[in-house]
Amino acid sequence: MSSCWGEKIKISIFGESHGKGIGVVLDNLPSGEKIDMNELLMFMGRRSPGKDKTSTPRLEKDFPNILSGLLNDTTTGTPLCAVIENTNTRSQDYGEMLRYPRPGHGDYTGHIRYQGFNDIRGGGHFSGRLTAPLVFAGSICRQILKRKGINIASHIYSIGEICDTPFNPVKVDNELIQRINHEFFPLVNPDCEKDMRDYIESKRLSGDSTGGIIECVATGMPCGVGNPMFGGVENVISSVVFGVPAVKGIEFGTGFDITKMTGSQANDQYAYDENGNVITLTNHNGGITGGITNGMPILFRVAIKPTPSISVTQKTIDLIHKKNTELVIKGRHDPCIVPRATVVIESALAIALMDILQI
Amino acid sequence: MSSCWGEKIKISIFGESHGKGIGVVLDNLPSGEKIDMNELLMFMGRRSPGKDKTSTPRLEKDFPNILSGLLNDTTTGTPLCAVIENTNTRSQDYGEMLRYPRPGHGDYTGHIRYQGFNDIRGGGHFSGRLTAPLVFAGSICRQILKRKGINIASHIYSIGEICDTPFNPVKVDNELIQRINHEFFPLVNPDCEKDMRDYIESKRLSGDSTGGIIECVATGMPCGVGNPMFGGVENVISSVVFGVPAVKGIEFGTGFDITKMTGSQANDQYAYDENGNVITLTNHNGGITGGITNGMPILFRVAIKPTPSISVTQKTIDLIHKKNTELVIKGRHDPCIVPRATVVIESALAIALMDILQI
Amino acid sequence: MSSCWGEKIKISIFGESHGKGIGVVLDNLPSGEKIDMNELLMFMGRRSPGKDKTSTPRLEKDFPNILSGLLNDTTTGTPLCAVIENTNTRSQDYGEMLRYPRPGHGDYTGHIRYQGFNDIRGGGHFSGRLTAPLVFAGSICRQILKRKGINIASHIYSIGEICDTPFNPVKVDNELIQRINHEFFPLVNPDCEKDMRDYIESKRLSGDSTGGIIECVATGMPCGVGNPMFGGVENVISSVVFGVPAVKGIEFGTGFDITKMTGSQANDQYAYDENGNVITLTNHNGGITGGITNGMPILFRVAIKPTPSISVTQKTIDLIHKKNTELVIKGRHDPCIVPRATVVIESALAIALMDILQI
Amino acid sequence: MSSCWGEKIKISIFGESHGKGIGVVLDNLPSGEKIDMNELLMFMGRRSPGKDKTSTPRLEKDFPNILSGLLNDTTTGTPLCAVIENTNTRSQDYGEMLRYPRPGHGDYTGHIRYQGFNDIRGGGHFSGRLTAPLVFAGSICRQILKRKGINIASHIYSIGEICDTPFNPVKVDNELIQRINHEFFPLVNPDCEKDMRDYIESKRLSGDSTGGIIECVATGMPCGVGNPMFGGVENVISSVVFGVPAVKGIEFGTGFDITKMTGSQANDQYAYDENGNVITLTNHNGGITGGITNGMPILFRVAIKPTPSISVTQKTIDLIHKKNTELVIKGRHDPCIVPRATVVIESALAIALMDILQI
């Protein structure tokens, strides 16, 4: 592992924020899958910045140039590579050395990891911009999954302390999924939007930022996929999801709150429904028992930390003079990446499910 | 993946609860590492049941028979295999078919996954008993890590709603680590023990169970190991930790609560300490930024769901007559596995760190 | 990789020649596969020494003790572990250091690789004895493959300069396969046996040894499995086959001799046969084009070097006094391992085909 | 595996012959490695067609556009992606279906593997053109290896029946390596060139083709790298080398001819040389014993089949009308790819050695 991922499907992501381009190779995709480019661009658009005040006003044209693996909009089955050009690279920054690592970013850890040779401009390979090829890859996968009856969606569960209505863990309405799949600010209860935006705007005005929680679901997963131990559905999903910068936690089903329940409350009891299908009456396990899907919705929540790029003065170090100092980060930054991150988490889930289903 | 794990080190766990034996193969261990068998058995003892009222009174002799890879208590560098015999297998159960899946267990999902052929006796390969070889493997790894200055510990962060004092995220005292490494009921503040035990006992008396949260730490990790994206420290740790049955969530550093902070609160600001080492003044990121260690303690918490084995009547299905029914599980069971699970989580961390460090 | 192998199926082999035991874990086997233990033991018997004068007269009881993964002789789908006890371990040898590395063996390279900590008794993990668990694993796999119409066989293509009749590359008779599957000295033309045995015996009498070539075939493989580039059928087969000690070369179809042909001779031209199936008129490519099966027999040959254990005086070094010296190896050894190795190569192929077919 | 390869280093190759572009991602390269672009282009030039009469006169501008992973000609340590544009794509061919599979090519097997959806124009992903990114990747790796004292070279061992002088297996002269590293038609004995070229030209004139054998060497490898069993040096090298189209066999050291030797001839006996280094007096094992390097040159030969593209009439099938037919392939083709393939095999070796050395 590193920037490659997968056992059946293989995803290899490359690029640096201010290099020539970023992109992804998807190997071992099934052949003959029609890709709806408009839908794919819509999903990529949800991640793009500049949509409104919650995100950075930089303009990016994140158009994926597909070099291989697609013929007549249909997967050939051989590796699919997409490249997104970086348009706002600034050559004058070349050769600039890291001096003042930004708190909360990968500047310092990357500097040590790569012995000072990594491209630090704009965060380099650590940049949130690298989620663009992740969304590209995930959007290919989710179209293939959708054809098998599997639908993915997420919403902004919370921004700071302001919470949306959670998904119904036992049944997520398909109309709801369709609606929020197309929204830049996806919410179960749209009435929360104003409070959340006001809160984000208040952080922006004070040069600060906020985080939040994303709740994500997949419906239509067949029962009986996944594995006990290390090949479990939770293991596989979390091994992709933590690849999204700023994620600091993941919980499935009732998650951390399940620890406050008793076994008799937490156990998802079985029943046949009116159609003779096996269901569970509750879904505290998030659709997964013993690492294997039970046919109920796969449900999890992800903690997104506040954007580390803030304009408030921060303590840091001077790596050249080896002394303590202070840092003010200039430029305009996302006060909250949670809305843009929803489609990134959905994409991570889509990639994970391809591997879990051995498609 | 499945019951194998690892890129550099390779762990392959096998066995079923009532088969002949369970065990593990560790491939690619470094050669020449002296193993202290007494310490290893002490760690395995912390996982063994029958210590007190919080766990099942079954007697097990979990003595690992090392078949290969160790000569004069020193690793040879070729695969190390340990087998733990199952002594209480009951042959009369042979051939029994799954009829009434137990809620919260892997019975039903395993039945579908393996098309009815898996060994269901005692949970088979899904049994918590399979954590014995995991602790064996982890205890080998942690001795190697310790020699490199890396120490691992965990405590019972909470049982139900009753909470221990958290670790100090910036500095975990080495004496504390040594103390709780040897405890069956590890707590930062031992005064919590009575309340926690009383709560567990109350659940046991009502035939019910409870879960809890384990907080785990590794100190002494060098700065600059791990990778951006999918090879990040969080990804690797969580891909092992979710292999422990009953884990439903993981959070690093401040975890889900970081979403309620602002960026200026959440960013771990840098400073040189009195010895000229780079530190962060807080540790909300749990020692990991951009997927890479920053030299601060690796800190995470894991949610353990209540033991699904309870003697309360539960709704389930009759898979033979395909109708709804009820189930009462007989026998004595752990009302709470959290104390025994602490060393399992520590072991999962040790295995993950071996791979992250490419030892 | 190392002593683990596989993407879909995972094989982990462990053990040292004079340790407590050797064995293998097979992970990700399909569930519900009935295993014929008598046939499996027959295949393992073909590898066992002591059958006749071509092999060492040591007695071994290579009975595999299956610890997990098999219930009522049927695969459960969870990891299958088999252990073979080592009965002739001699504890007095403990702690003996490597001093005079045997030419042609892994003694010296293993000594450097493992910094002197590996178990050198009897070759340790480098011993040909480690092919016993490989044959066990392959014999499980070939029973599963046979049920899908895929049959595997091999014969002694040559011993020294004495050659058997090659397989007909276009069609290998099923009766021939059945016959040689049960033979300790498998030959297409049994008339070669006397010459070959006489040649081996002459080498034995002079304290020397000989090698030979094994030709191996799989019939019934479907067309269209495998991958271009690194996931090709040749890549996968050779990555297992070179795991068999003493293999120094592999060639598919016409192999090295294809280089002396012209394209018009070497190209396997297509035709529909009388049943409307696509065939090739020749099989110079060994059933594989572009890394992918074409439905013709998979055919390859493997070069087995002469047994390095000989009683002739050889030059070697004294690693303690760091000077040149001579060595005479005592004990009785196989003058030729080729007959016993046939079933090992068949087993390696069976394991490779399981992965190629993603069973 | 598939078009991805590697455990430590990860290579992901993409592209189709007539798509927009082809390329490669190298993940997990060490940081801080200076890349000499001129030397890299020289190696890529050796693979490029159009140099002389032995190869196709098509003009290609195989200039690698490096999108990421390189800053100031130095590796950043994050994924390095290079794209080579395809300039002679012809859009009018779009949508053409495979009707007459060319014998010896991957047309038919790819058609079945990808259910008719793969890009067949120019061979698609099966095209020899895909070796361009392989040479790019290998040329990056060999520069890193060279800095560690490891040098790689190969020569045309034979064309048809015409043979060059073999490498001295015990010691390959460094001047020889330097010389043939820069040659389009690398030979130990340049006097063979005329005969080989005449033979190739005679095949070209008759619309036919020829194959040959490439002998490849790596000097300077440290003793003690590699692993027993599946992680052996032979396994790893062959798992990359068979990814080169047209390779049908590989043999290490004396290879298939070792089977005709006795043990006393074949065993490489040990000695200390004048400098106190351990050497072997012969090198029949090609520098590898027990899967592990012994410090002698790594030496192997590879069989390259005759180019399947010939203008002689061949039998094939009509996949639309499902009947036997004949085919004449138009256009100009390489009568012999062996000279161009030398640098491809060297590149495959370089990639394999990076992984073996865990660089």
Q: The complex's ipTM?
A: 0.96
User: CA-based diameter of chain A, in Å?
Assistant: 72
D27 CB neighbours in chain A (<8 A) are 2-4, 12, 14
For B74-131, write each residue's pLDDT tens digit: 999 999 999 999 986 665 554 456 899 999 999 999 999 999 999 999 999 999 999 9
Give residue D236's identity as a one-letter amino acid code. Answer: V
* 3-state SS, residue A25: strand
Per residue in B286-326, pLDDT (tens digit) is: 999 999 999 999 999 999 999 999 999 999 999 999 999 99
* B128-154 pLDDT tens trace: 999 999 999 999 999 999 999 999 999
Lowest mean pLDDT among C39-53, C151-165, C339-353, D175-189: C39-53
In chain D, the residue whose alpha carbon lies closest to the alpha carbon of C244 is: D229
For residue C190, the SS3 value is: helix
Residues of C in contact with D269 (CB under 8 A): 103, 314-316
Mutate to test the interface with D, among C250, C259, C333 (most CBs of D within 10 A): C259
Q: What residues of D are in contact with residue A82 (Cβ under 8 Å)? A: none
**Closest residue, chain C, to D229 (C-alpha):** C243
Q: How many domains does chain A have?
A: 1
Does the pLDDT value for residue A52 go beyond 90?
no
pLDDT, averaged across chain C: 94
Chain B neighbors of C67, CB-CB under 8 A? 14-15, 19-23, 83
Q: What is the pLDDT of residue C60?
A: 52
* Chain C: closest CA distance from residue D228 (Å): 6
Helices D131-147 + D338-356 axis angle, to 10 = 50
- Subunit contact B310:A226, Cβ cutoff 8 A: no
pLDDT of residue B276: 95
Q: Which residues of D touch A71 (CB under 8 A)?
A: 19, 94, 117, 119
CA distance D24 to D37: 16
Shortest distance between the Cα of D11 and any Cα of chain C, in A, equals 10
Q: What is the pLDDT of residue C49?
A: 81
Kindly determine whether residue D94 and residue A117, on different chains, have CB atoms separated by under 8 Å.
Answer: no
B224 vs A109, A211, A272: nearest CB: A109
Residue D333: pLDDT band by 50, 70, 90 thresholds?
Answer: confident
Contact: A239, B243; criterion CB under 8 Å: no
Task: Using DSSP, state whether D157 is helix, strand or coil.
Answer: strand
Q: Is D336 helix (H, G, I), strand (E, B) or coil?
A: coil
Short-list A335, A43, A55, A303, CA closest to A158: A303
pLDDT in tens, C255-286: 999 999 999 999 999 999 999 999 999 999 99
Cβ contact D292–C158 (<8 Å):
no
Of D7, D78, D228, which has the smallest distance from its Cβ to B228's Cβ? D78
Q: To which residue do tokens 């052949």 refer?
A: A31
Q: Are A355 and A236 in contact (CB under 8 A)?
A: yes
Contacts of D99 in chain C (CB under 8 A): none
More confident residue, B90 or A240: A240
In the predicted structure, residue D282 carries a pLDDT above the cut 70? yes
Enumerate helices (H) and strands (E) in chain B, giving the number of each: 8, 18
Alpha-carbon distances of B33 from A272, B141, C348, rounded to whole Å: 55, 10, 32
User: Average model confidence (pLDDT) for chain D?
Assistant: 94
From A7, A228, A358, residue closest to C78, measured CB to CB: A228
Q: With CB atoms and an 8 Å threshold, state whether D228 touches B78.
A: yes
* pLDDT reported for residue D66: 98
Q: Which of A22, A117, A136 to mutate to test the interface with D (most CBs of D within 10 A)?
A: A117
Residue of B nearest to A104 (CA): B267
CA pair distance D267, C314, nearest whole angstrom? 9
| pLDDT (mean) for A126-131 | 95
- The pLDDT, as a whole number, for residue D89 is 63
CA distance D49 to chain C (A): 19
From the CA of C99, how many Å to the nearest CA of chain B?
Answer: 17
Range of the domain at A258: 4-356
User: Which pLDDT value is given to residue A143?
Assistant: 98
| Tokens (6 digits) for B204 | 């046991």
Q: In angstroms, what separates the C-alpha of A72 from chain B's closest C-alpha? A: 31
Q: What pLDDT shows up at residue C94?
A: 46
CA distance, residue C16 to nearest chain B CA (Å): 6
Please tell me the distance in Å from B290's CA to the nearest CA on chain D: 13
* pLDDT at residue A129 in the model: 95
Which residue's structure tokens are 């393939």? D341
Whole-structure pTM value: 0.96
Nearest to B217 by CA among B164, B157, B165, B172: B172
Identify the pLDDT of residue A91. Answer: 52
CA–CA dist D226, D224 (Å, integer): 7
**Does residue D88 carry a pLDDT above 70?**
no
Q: What is the pLDDT of residues A146-192, one digit of tens each?
A: 999 999 999 999 999 999 999 999 999 999 999 999 999 999 999 99
Mean pLDDT of D243-251: 97
Strands C151-159 and C292-293: unpaired
Q: How many CB pairs under 8 A join A and D?
A: 167
Cross-strand partners of A316: A325
* pLDDT given for residue D95 in this prediction: 47
What is the C-alpha separation between A177 and A218, in angstroms, rounded? 10
Encoded tokens for B84: 């733990």
Residues of C in contact with A78 (CB under 8 A): 228
User: Which residue of A12, A109, A114 is the best one to mutate when testing the D interface, meaning the one whose CB has the most D CBs within 10 A?
Assistant: A12
Q: What angle do CA B195, B199, B203 make, to 5 degrees?
A: 170
Beta-bridged to residue D156, according to DSSP, are D214
Residues from chain B contacting residue C16 (CB–CB below 8 Å): 68-69, 76, 78
CATH at residue C165: 3.60.150.10
- Residues of chain D neighbouring B78 (CB-CB closer than 8 A): 228
A8-49 pLDDT, tens digit per residue, is: 999 999 999 999 999 999 999 999 999 999 999 999 999 998
Residues of A in contact with B262 (CB under 8 A): 203, 208-210, 306, 310
Distance of residue A359 Cα from the nearest chain D Cα, in angstroms: 14
Q: What does the DSSP 8-state code read for residue B262?
A: B
Residues of B with CB under 8 A from a CB of D: 7, 78, 228, 358
Contact B134, B13 (CB under 8 A): yes
**Confidence class for position C313, pLDDT limits 50, 70, 90:** very high
Select the residue of D112, D232, D304 nearest C259 (Cβ to Cβ): D304
Asked if residue C229 lies in contact with residue D242, where contact means CB atoms within 8 angstroms, the answer is no
| Type of residue found at B323 | K
**Mean pLDDT score, D228-256:** 97
pLDDT at C332: 76
Chain C residue numbers with beta carbons less than 8 Å from the beta carbon of D290 are 105-107, 109-110, 126, 245
Name, in order, each residue with C-beta under 8 angstroms of A99's C-beta and a sequence gap of 6 or more. A318, A319, A320
Q: Using one digit for the tens of pLDDT, what is the confidence trace for C64-73?
A: 999 999 999 9
